[in-house]
Structure formats: structure tokens, C-alpha cells
Amino acid sequence: MKITKRQLRRIIKEEKTTVLVEQAGPAMSYIDFAARLKEIHALTESLGLVYVDSGWLADGDHASLAEDVNELDRAADSLALAAEGLARSMEEM
């Protein structure tokens, strides 16, 4: 039986999702969710410091990309704070 590239990609994506869920464990919680979002925020903040605040992306035509990185950081921070609030309201913190 032959499978198409699209089918193979779908199978790989499904298996990847299964593995990630298994690694997270059956007891997912809002506090875990908040912690992962804080990790993402730390990464986006680091991106901003290294590539935006240094002025590297400000050179040439990359100003819009620099603003996108800043927006990504603000969104990650907002999501992390919201998840922490949710964890608190669910009495997980």
C-alpha cells in the first residue's frame, strides 16, 4: 500500500502529538500550563534582547520584523500571566 506525502505528514503529526501528550503525563494542570508559557516568554524575551534591543534587526528593512518579535514577547507575557491567574483561580497555586 502506498501513502501520499500528505498522509505521511498527517501520520507524523498525529504521532508527535501523542508522544508530547504522553511526555506531559496524564495529570496536566493549569500550573504546568503557566510554567510552560513562562518558559516561552523567557525565550521570546531573550530573542528581543539579542536581536532587537541590540539594534541588529533595526538595520535595513527589518524594523517590522523587530516589532513582530516585540509583539510576540508581549503576547507570551500576557498569556503567561493569564495562565497564572487561571491556576490561582483553580486553586492550583
For residue 85, give the C-alpha cell.
Answer: 491567574
pLDDT tens string, the chain, 93 residues long: the values are 787 888 888 988 899 888 877 776 656 788 888 999 999 999 999 999 998 888 888 776 778 888 999 999 999 999 999 999 999 998 765
User: With contact defined as beta carbons under 8 Å apart, do 52 and 70 qualify?
Assistant: yes
Instruction: Give the model's pLDDT for residue 83.
Output: 93
pTM for the full model? 0.65
- Characterize 50-76 residue by residue with b for buried, 16 or more Cβ atoms within 10 angstroms of its Cβ, and e for exposed: ebbeeeebeeeeeeeebeebbebbeeb
For the chain, domain boundaries: 26-89
| Distance, CA of 84 to CA of 38 (rounded, Å) | 9
